Structures are given as structure tokens and as C-alpha cells.
Amino acid sequence: MGMNGVLRPGHAQIRVLDLEEGIHHYGKVLGLLETGRDKQGRVYFKAWDERDHNSVVLRQADRAGLDHFAFKVANKATLEKLDSDLRAYGVPTERIPAGEMLETGERVRFQIPSGHIFELYAEKKDVGNGMPYVNPEAWVPAAEHGIAPIRMDHCLLYGPDIEKVQKLLEEVLGFYVTEHVVLEDGKTDLAIFLSTSIKAHDIAFVRHPEPGKLHHISFLLDSWEKVLRAADLMSMARVSIDIGPTRHGITRGETIYAFDPSGNRFETFAGGYQTYPDCQPIKWTIDQVGPAIFYHDRKLNEAFLSVVT
């Protein structure tokens, strides 16, 4: 069970400018498995080793970005409790009926202080990963195509009032801070990294004047060699790469940042450390933000700082 019943990131609904281009990118290049299409025109995907029906949902729109980011919770009772806790905290919630998204149960929707829409849900159909639950093989060769991430892992969001976001996620949803970047005053955070598990982060935020912005959605690979392979495949497919392959100081993960055809940034990520709620958060000072983000280059590039959707 998650620290407060929130288990993990569940799905991201992403806006794309051209649906067919998005389907090709996420399905053929990134290598996610398409699991369905609904009457609204949305297209559903999952990574090959995920068991639930979907983790990425594409919707065609006139601007790119993130509609919402959702977390799976332990069960219906947890969903009810967290809905009540959110409302008691002063956060209005909306109930989205089961079936509004394919194979997904009732969701609790709410807006956080950074302007992003979050959702919680307890039920999603288990479609498996191509292997049985009794005596499985190590992996399924036929299911692994393209870059082939293991799972949708986390996201980085840009917006204001991240200290209020932190307070909400800690006090109501049971997240805890693993790392943070402090501005020149030594008190105000530029960035915060939070976990609801033992991962180095399940979600992160950077202070930004515009609300509700997406910096990237991250997909987990199982080794540095797979990150290098991803770089080769991106080059073959003429994917626009932002930076990498390289390594983070924060989280110690290996990474490539690139853009889908609509300009949404995505990350292919490996490594990182395990942590627990009793671990003291790691602090980075603003003068060391270069190696904190890109440990090898030890400096940031302009696109990484400024391009969001």
C-alpha cells in the first residue's frame, strides 16, 4: 500500500495537435501498446510490462499539453476517504463516473494550486503484460518493440505556488519530499521532487509564473544500455532530442529528453535510487543547479528551461 493509500502514478492524458502523428510516435517509436479507442476519439496506450489497461491517453486538441495526471489508490474505501479529506482541506472535487475512460473506474478530479488537474481512481482493468500469473517467463519478446519502456514513471510540472502544492500532497495524499532546489534566498524552493513510494520521485514541480504547464512525461527503461538504444532509435526516427543521453545529479537517473511531434517533451529514464519517508531530503543550492539536472554537462540548456506545453 502507498504511504497514505496512493499507490503510484496511474495515467496521463496528453493533448496532441495531430492524432495520427501522436499514435505513430507513442505506438511505433516509443513502443507503447495501443489498448483501445473511445467514442470521444481518445486513444489509449500502456507500456509492455504494465498490467493495467492504460497509462497514456492521447486526445487531439488545438494546443499541446497535459489534460490531467492521475494516481491509482489502494481501493474504493481509500478513494472515498481521500475525496473526503480533500474537501475537508478546502479543495473542491468532482466525481467522474466509471467508464468515462475505457476500463477505468470512478475518478475523483481536483485542481492543485499550480493549476494542474489531478485525478485519483481505485479501479482499472488488469489486461496483463502478455505473461501468465503462474510460472511466467522473464519477458515477452513479441511485446517489446520500439523504445519499449517498462512503465510510465513520473512527470515534471511547471506552475506557481509549489509550496502550497507540497503542503497539499504531504498533508492530504501522503507524499514526501526527496530532493529540492533552493533559490538564492536559501529558503524558497525553485523545484521539489516528491514520492508516494520508495522511488526517488513520482512527481516533481518547478516554480513557474504560468499555471498548469507540462515539462515532461517520463518513461522508465531498465538499464543505461536501454537509454543508449533509445537514443539510436530516436535518431533513426528523426525525433527532436532536447538533451542526452546524460545523467541527473538529482535522483541519479540516466536520461534522454526529447519531443513528440506536437512539442510535448518526454523522457526516457533509467536508474535512480530507492528512498523512504524517513530519509532526509537532499538539498541543492541554486549555484549547483547545472550538475543537479545535467550531471555530465554541469549546465542547463535554454530549451530545457523555457519550453513547456
Q: Which residue has the cell 499539453?
A: 65
- Residue 157 is placed in which grid cell? 510540472
* CB contact set of 202 (below 8 Å; sequence gap of 6+): 8, 9, 71, 154, 175, 194, 195, 196
CB environment 250-281: b (16+ within 10 A), e (fewer): bbebbbbbbbbbbebbbbbbbbbeebeeeeee
Q: For the chain, how many helices (H) and strands (E)?
A: 6, 17
Question: Which amino acid, one-letter code, is at 47?
Answer: A
Q: How far is CA 169 from CA 27, 112, 224, in A?
A: 32, 9, 31
Question: Which amino acid, one-letter code, is at 176?
Answer: Y
- CA 132-133-137 angle, to 5 degrees, is 55
Classify the C-alpha dihedral 51-139-135-5 as positive or negative.
negative
- Residue 75 is placed in which grid cell? 481501493
Among candidate residues 29, 27, 33, 47, the one with its CA nearest the CA of residue 236: 29
304/259 Cα distance (integer angstroms): 11
Among candidate residues 113, 121, 61, 78, the one with its CA nearest the CA of residue 96: 121
The residues annotated with a catalytic role in the active site are 154, 201, 216, 248, 257, 267
- Residue 156 is placed in which grid cell? 515534471
